[in-house]
A and B are shown apart, each in its own frame.
Chain A
Amino acid sequence: MSERKSDGPTPMERFIGGLLPENPVYRQILGICPTLAVTNTMEGALTMGLAAAFVLLCSNVLISLIRPLLKPHLRILIFTLTIATFVTIADRVLAAYLYDMSKQLGPYIPLIIVNCIIIARCEICASKQSVGTAAADALGQSLGFTLGLMSIATVREILGFGTWFGRWLGWRVIPEMAPAHWSNWVVMILPPGAFLTLGLLLGVFNALTAKKEKAA
């Protein structure tokens, strides 16, 4: 069996692809549930990004290793089984070592099981390409996902709480004195703020890409 099909993207192409050209949040519009739900603080966004990265990397590598054994009509079952296992491990580890964060994220860590980014990468890349390519793909996609979450969380946390990494590092962006002249935008903390921010950032992203394509 040939290790890499001549038409498959190389590991480097896969990695770069996940960062921008095929960014899960801004280009594929996948994983929108966590994107909207946990991006009101940087800590939540980063923890979610890292948990999803762990699950994606482990699932991609394992699926790639067993890909000669996959039966076409049972592959989705195997993907789901694999993903659910790694999500459960991530959830338990968080509850054991980052108890406060696990309390804050509540059901959203277990919900990584139904995050379509992961099953999409298993289907598109890991079940067809070698372990190295699958690992590079997982790293690129999860880095792209984490950056997507953090960009939205940056806007929401600064406008909503006046802080950036406020819970872990205590950084204030808007000075403590400000409330006389500035009141936190509660809407940014609430779900509508997630939709507003995602929509505006998507618009910015699309405008930049369109400009680039025109110039090329």
Chain B
Amino acid sequence: MKGSYIGQAWLAIVLASAFGAALAGVHAGLGPRIAANRLNDTLSQIPALVPGAARGEAVEVAGRLVYRAVDAAGAPVGWVVPANGQGFADRIELLIGLDRDAARITGLYVLQQNETPGLGNRVTEEAFRNRFRDQAAGAPLRVVKGRAGGAGEIEAVTGATVSSDSVTAIVNGAVDRFRREKPGMP
């Protein structure tokens, strides 16, 4: 027994099993709460993303999860489309607000990012996100440096061209795809 593998490794085996069970317990206990945090983070943004929206309902469109924004009476007022793509440092997850016909962008929120603090992570600030508000969704948006003048132009964050480009590209891709796939409003 003393020289056998079990004699040598029994402690590791026992501990691994006990720790595995403990972690399973922690996950069972906290998992729903963590999932709820993520969902709340998403749902709590919906009124800010779509004007007049009181809450969101999860619906599946062409295999993808999107949220139908409804007003207090339950009438649909727009859409919130989750989208993600590569940023400068890591993946960026966005929520894009669209009006009823997905003709106009009504808001943008950054759900998750790891961009450079102080530069790239300023894409999370309202000043940048508001540049997307009220843009027409029909044509792709363009990033410009310096002051943006015309319609369809997004002014880049100073010192964060890659992050600005990434966010705009993710928005363009997701909006285009959603416009092709979206169901008619009831």
| Chain A interface (Cβ < 8 Å from any Cβ of B) | 40, 66, 69-71, 74, 77-78, 81-82, 84-85, 88-89, 92-93, 95-97, 99, 103, 106, 160, 186, 189-190
A92 touches B116 (CB 8 A): no
B12 touches A77 (CB 8 A): yes
Q: How large is the interface on B (under 10, 10 to 19, 20 to 34, 35 or more residues)?
A: 20 to 34
| Chain B interface (Cβ < 8 Å from any Cβ of A) | 8-9, 11-12, 15-16, 19, 22-23, 26-27, 30, 33-34, 37-38, 41, 90, 112, 114, 116-119
For the complex, would chain A's binding face be called helix, strand, loop or mixed by DSSP majority? Answer: helix
A-B contact pairs, 30 of them (CB 8 A): A40-B117, A66-B11, A70-B11, A74-B9, A78-B11, A78-B12, A78-B15, A81-B12, A81-B15, A81-B16, A81-B19, A82-B15, A84-B19, A85-B19, A85-B23, A88-B26, A89-B22, A92-B26, A92-B27, A92-B34, A95-B37, A96-B30, A96-B37, A99-B34, A103-B112, A186-B119, A189-B117, A190-B117, A190-B118, A190-B119
For the complex, would chain B's binding face be called helix, strand, loop or mixed by DSSP majority? Answer: helix
Determine how close the nearest CB of chain A comes to the CB of B109; give it in whole angstroms.
Answer: 13
- Nearest opposing residue in chain B for A77, CB measure: B12
- Nearest opposing residue in chain B for A90, CB measure: B26
Determine how close the nearest CB of chain B comes to the CB of A56; give it in whole angstroms.
Answer: 17
A106 touches B114 (CB 8 A): yes
- Nearest opposing residue in chain A for B114, CB measure: A106
16 extra A-B contacts, CB within 8 A, seeds A74-B8, A78-B11, A96-B34? A70-B11, A78-B12, A82-B19, A85-B23, A88-B23, A88-B26, A89-B22, A92-B26, A95-B30, A97-B33, A106-B90, A186-B118, A186-B119, A189-B118, A190-B117, A190-B119
A66 — which chain B residues lie within 8 A by C-beta?
A: 11, 15
B23 — which chain A residues lie within 8 A by C-beta?
A: 85, 88-89
Determine how close the nearest CB of chain A comes to the CB of B2; give it in whole angstroms.
Answer: 11
Determine how close the nearest CB of chain B comes to the CB of A123; give it in whole angstroms.
Answer: 17
Question: How many Å lie between the Cα of A71 and that of B119 in the bound state?
Answer: 50
Determine how close the nearest CB of chain B comes to the CB of A79; give it in whole angstroms.
Answer: 11
- Nearest opposing residue in chain B for A98, CB measure: B37
A92 — which chain B residues lie within 8 A by C-beta?
A: 26-27, 30, 34
- Nearest opposing residue in chain B for A187, CB measure: B118
Question: How many Å lie between the Cα of A84 and that of B19 in the bound state?
Answer: 9
B114 touches A93 (CB 8 A): no
A40 — which chain B residues lie within 8 A by C-beta?
A: 117
A99 touches B9 (CB 8 A): no
- Nearest opposing residue in chain A for B112, CB measure: A103
10 smallest CB-CB distances across A and B, nearest first, come from A189-B118, A85-B19, A99-B37, A96-B30, A96-B33, A95-B34, A186-B118, A189-B117, A92-B30, A96-B34
- Nearest opposing residue in chain B for A100, CB measure: B41
Determine how close the nearest CB of chain B comes to the CB of A211; give it in whole angstroms.
Answer: 36
Question: How many Å lie between the Cα of A125 and that of B34 in the bound state?
Answer: 35
A85 — which chain B residues lie within 8 A by C-beta?
A: 19, 22-23
Determine how close the nearest CB of chain A comes to the CB of B94; give it in whole angstroms.
Answer: 14
Question: How many Å lie between the Cα of A186 and that of B37 in the bound state?
Answer: 31
A89 — which chain B residues lie within 8 A by C-beta?
A: 22-23, 26
B8 — which chain A residues lie within 8 A by C-beta?
A: 71, 74
- Nearest opposing residue in chain A for B15, CB measure: A81
A190 touches B11 (CB 8 A): no
Determine how close the nearest CB of chain B comes to the CB of A82; give it in whole angstroms.
Answer: 7
- Nearest opposing residue in chain A for B18, CB measure: A85
